[in-house]
Amino acid sequence: MYELVILTFLMRGPMHGYLIASILNDMIGPYAKVSHGRLYPLLAKLEASGLIAEDGEATGESPPDRRQRRFRITESGRDRFRQLMLDTTSNPGDYRALFWIKAPFLGYLTPTERLRVLDHYIHYCRAHLFHLTSERDQLAREALDKAYMRPDELDATLAVIDHYRRGWQVELDDALALRAREVEGADAGGTSEATLR
């Protein structure tokens, strides 16, 4: 996930490691934080892999006790960014969070690729809703009949399932709204293929 986040930041232009850490922590906080001890080795790994490179001179924008490096994305990094944006299978458990990291950067993909990513996520949301609805209905039918759950336990369990269903419905509604804007922009001739260069 962090590889994608770093590459998405650098698609916009060169950034200092300190600024990457600050924005990343704003995104994942307030309780989860990425430490400099975790971020800087990842930056070094991306640099060693040729996905990012140091960009120009160090500046005084960082804390005065250390030299701050500014990074830029390379052509290989742009290819990797595109690969990660189009990947819909590698992280199924984190896919919900990954999709919303990708969403603001869909403009770097072609219109066809954007629709493919959006349609996949819409299907993903619908699959969760279908599963939760089916399981809820089956539980509601069988729990009391088979007497393996008291009525108060059943009500509490159904409330939890309903909570998750509402969350997935919001996800689906938001994804459908993104897709509608994409189609509307394409129909109006306002959607152009963003360049990766």
pLDDT recorded at residue 194: 43
The span from the CA of 12 to the CA of 108, in Å, is 10
Structure pTM?
A: 0.81
pLDDT recorded at residue 190: 56
What CATH number does the domain containing 37 carry?
Answer: 1.10.10.10
**58 in the same domain as 26:** yes
**66 in the same domain as 126:** no
Long-range CB contacts for residues 135-139, cutoff 8 Å, separation at least 24? 135/161, 136/161, 136/162, 136/165
The span from the CA of 112 to the CA of 89, in Å, is 18
Structure tokens given for 40: 């800087």
pLDDT recorded at residue 183: 93
Strand partners, 73: 52
pLDDT recorded at residue 68: 73
The span from the CA of 144 to the CA of 126, in Å, is 28
pLDDT recorded at residue 86: 96
pLDDT recorded at residue 143: 82
* Overall domain count for the chain: 2
Ranges of the chain whose pLDDT falls below 70? 57-67, 189-197
pLDDT recorded at residue 122: 97
**145 in the same domain as 74:** no
The span from the CA of 9 to the CA of 19, in Å, is 10
Residue 122, SS3 per DSSP: helix
Report which of 112, 94, 96 is spatially closest to residue 174, judged by C-alpha positions: 96
Residue with tokens 């999709």: 99
Chain center to CA of 188: 27
pLDDT digits (tens, 9 = 90+) for 147-183: 778 889 999 999 999 999 999 999 999 999 999 999 9
pLDDT recorded at residue 93: 83
pLDDT recorded at residue 146: 77
Strand partners, 160: none
| Domain stop point among 52, 86, 120 | 86
Instruction: Say if 97 falls within a structural domain.
Output: no
Q: Domain range spanning residue 151?
A: 107-187
Instruction: Say if 93 falls within a structural domain.
Output: no
**64 in the same domain as 127:** no
